[in-house]
């Protein structure tokens, strides 16, 4: 079986590759694509695979834009961070979906479902219907996340999150109770999914909740130092200079 992974998060790519190989080491991953543009170019110039693992959000837009530019003749297992009603719709409009963070059991079931699908009368996937669903869902803010704890999935609520931070290419979420978990999503993606009234991207490394800010200290040259609760391992957390004005407005409730 030949597969293609379309995903723009390096950590998520590595994790998915490992899970696929654990399922069957003979599965060949023929391409790893990170954007709509790269995907369109690849599908125009290469034989299409047996199966595609496709993330909904890519660095340059929704992955459904690929299908507007090139005809893709391969079944798809979607990778998504959406939950609740949107997820239920995926069951009826695609072969299957994988909810981030992906665990081995879910991936195994999805590939098994593909094998059953490919061996029977192949139904036409409702790509247009899924596209409409996602476009109408993107304005809904996340209410919870799933994180991997050992071999299990744990659900965490947005209201219990203090802040997110990124280090060495890995994103972490810190809870109000000081618990910490790794995520497969970048801060850029998280920022788009969270309510801007509650969360602010203070710099490249930190996306913080208003309630987690204990104090904001004014330093010379308009620098702002933020004290977070629970305290991060990095003692000094500053708001980027180009974000100071927007931060003050947000902190005052104007944004």
Distance of CA 142 to the CA centre of its chain: 11
178 and 128 share one domain: no
41 and 128 share one domain: yes
123 and 107 share one domain: yes
Q: Tens digits of per-residue pLDDT, 6-52?
A: 998 888 899 999 999 999 999 999 999 999 999 999 999 999 999 99
Last residue of a domain, one of 121, 137, 153: 137
Q: What are phi and psi of 77, to 5 degrees?
A: -110, 115
Last residue of a domain, one of 137, 166, 188: 137
201 and 217 share one domain: yes
122 and 11 share one domain: yes
74 and 155 share one domain: no
pLDDT value of residue 130: 62
Q: Tens digits of per-residue pLDDT, 116-135?
A: 887 665 555 656 666 665 55
Domain CATH number, residue 159? 2.40.50.1020
Count of domains observed in the chain:
2
60 and 126 share one domain: yes
Token pair belonging to 231: 């305290």
What residues in the chain have per-residue pLDDT under 50? 84-85, 92, 138
Last residue of a domain, one of 87, 105, 137: 137
DSSP string, the chain: -EEEEE-S-HHHHHHHHHHHHHH-TT-EEEEEE-SHHHHHHHHHHS---SEEEEESEETTEETTHHHHHS---S-EEEEE---THHHHHHHHHSSEEEESSP-HHHHHHHHHHHHHHHHS-PPPP-HHHHHHHHHHHTTSPP-EEEEEETTEEEEEEGGGEEEEEEETTEEEEEETTS-EEEESS-HHHHHHHS-TTTEEE-SSSEEEEGGGEEEEEEEGGGEEEEEESSPPSSS--EE-GGGHHHHHHHHTT--
93 and 127 share one domain: yes
pLDDT value of residue 80: 77
pLDDT value of residue 123: 53
28 and 90 share one domain: yes
pLDDT value of residue 71: 87
- Look up the domain containing 10 and give its range: 2-137
pLDDT value of residue 136: 55
pLDDT value of residue 85: 42
89 and 177 share one domain: no
pLDDT value of residue 234: 74
20 and 111 share one domain: yes
pLDDT value of residue 113: 87
Token pair belonging to 178: 């000081």
Domain CATH number, residue 24? 3.40.50.2300
180 and 125 share one domain: no
Token pair belonging to 69: 């530019």
- Compute the distance between CA of residue 104 and CA of residue 90 in angstroms, rounded to an integer: 19
């Amino acid at each position: 079986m030949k597969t293609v992974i379309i995903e723009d998060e390096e950590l998520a790519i590595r994790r998915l590759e490992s899970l696929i190989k654990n399922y069957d080491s003979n599965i060949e991953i023929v391409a790893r694509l990170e954007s709509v543009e790269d995907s369109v170019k690849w599908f125009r110039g290469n034989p299409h695979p047996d199966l595609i693992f496709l993330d909904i959000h890519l660095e340059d837009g929704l992955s459904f834009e690929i299908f507007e530019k090139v005809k893709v003749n391969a079944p798809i297992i979607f990778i998504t961070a959406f939950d609740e009603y949107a997820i239920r719709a995926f069951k009826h409009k695609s072969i299957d979906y994988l909810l981030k963070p992906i665990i081995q059991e879910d991936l195994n079931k999805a590939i098994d479902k593909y094998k059953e699908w490919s061996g029977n009368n192949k139904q036409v996937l409702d790509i247009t219907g899924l596209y409409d669903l996602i476009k109408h869902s993107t304005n809904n803010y996340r209410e919870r996340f799933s994180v991997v704890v050992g071999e299990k999935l744990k659900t965490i609520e947005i209201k219990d999150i203090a802040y997110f931070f990124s280090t060495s290419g890995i994103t972490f979420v810190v809870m109000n109770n000081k618990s910490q978990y790794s995520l497969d999503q970048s801060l850029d993606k998280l920022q788009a999914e969270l309510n801007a009234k509650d969360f602010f991207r203070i710099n490249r490394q930190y996306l913080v909740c208003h309630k987690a800010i204990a104090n904001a200290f004014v330093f010379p040259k308009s620098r702002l130092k933020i004290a977070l609760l629970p305290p991060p391992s990095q003692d000094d957390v500053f708001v980027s200079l180009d974000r100071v004005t927007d931060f003050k407005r947000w902190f005052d409730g104007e944004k």
